Amino acid sequence: MSLTEIPLPRWSVKDGPLPPESLPRWAERLGITPRLALLLWQRGLTSIPEMDVFLSPNLRHLSSLERWPGLVEAANLLSAALSRGKRCAVWGDYD
């Protein structure tokens, strides 16, 4: 089968609220095309911050450490164990 014979997927756009007239300016601010901004809008990302987080998933978008469940308790536990001369290992995964 050649590449020209491969069936292309059919895309459909969900009905939903119309994007704001300022969407092209959002795209410019985010450094993306207006078409991509429209696609993100249609996928439910309806603000510049939401689009920015989706497009730039990096450390600056993580919530503050105080909001991480169990972090303070874990830090206290490690601190106490290390103060008693215990050996500790910490393992984690970003996601």
From the list 70, 73, 67, 29, the residue with the least C-alpha distance to 51 is: 29
Q: Supply the pLDDT for residue 63.
A: 79
Q: Supply the pLDDT for residue 25.
A: 97
Over residues 18-25, the mean pLDDT reads: 94
Output the six-digit token pair for 92: 């984690």
Q: Supply the pLDDT for residue 94.
A: 63
pLDDT band (50, 70, 90) for residue 78: very high
The lowest-confidence range among 25-29, 31-35, 54-58, 83-87 is 54-58
Distance CA 30, CA 8 (A): 29
Q: What is the DSSP letter of 3?
A: G
pLDDT band (50, 70, 90) for residue 20: very high
Q: Cβ(77)–Cβ(88) under 8 Å?
A: no
